């Protein structure tokens, strides 16, 4: 017989810990709000993109990847790389001509890709997981 108690405990722990990261506003929140104005299912699609990055990371941590992530050099590298990407994205936002919401054409993959991109470009996300 399977021991589902330990699985439920793991899921409860992951959910509880994840909530501390979810409540911190950041790029994923901003893109969800921006895309949500134009499309009602954008939040779920952005979350799907975020989960596509976060779930494999949870598995890697479970397999022992946490020791690598907590190394000071890795934290510094992730912070610098993430900061560069965020600055690049900010500059790109100012260079892109503005469009009204009526002119924008959104596709489902755009929201999912936005969830993946904003998760990977956010240094807070890596540091948060490295210190949990």
Taking the C-alpha atoms of residue 44 and residue 59, their distance in angstroms, rounded to an integer, is 22
Decide: 123 and 79 in contact? Cβ < 8 Å: yes
Q: Which tokens hold the place of 75? A: 């934290």
pLDDT for res 45: 93
Mean pLDDT, range 93-98, rounded to an integer: 76
pLDDT for res 78: 81
Q: What is the pLDDT of residues 37-56, one digit of tens each?
A: 888 899 899 999 999 998 99
Coil, strand, or helix at residue 100?
Answer: coil
pLDDT for res 116: 92
Average pLDDT over all residues of the chain: 81
């Amino acid at each position: 017989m399977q021991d589902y108690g330990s699985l439920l405990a793991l899921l409860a722990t992951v959910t509880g810990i994840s909530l501390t990261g979810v409540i911190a506003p950041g790029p994923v929140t901003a893109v969800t709000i921006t895309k949500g104005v134009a499309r009602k299912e954008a939040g779920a699609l952005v979350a799907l993109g975020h989960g596509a990055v976060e779930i494999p990371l949870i598995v890697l941590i479970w397999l022992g990847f946490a020791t690598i992530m907590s190394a000071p050099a890795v934290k510094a590298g992730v912070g610098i790389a993430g900061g560069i990407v965020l600055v690049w994205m900010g500059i790109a936002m100012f260079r892109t001509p503005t469009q009204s919401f009526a002119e924008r054409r959104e596709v489902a993959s755009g929201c999912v890709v936005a969830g993946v991109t904003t998760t990977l470009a956010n240094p807070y996300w890596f540091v948060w997981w490295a210190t949990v």
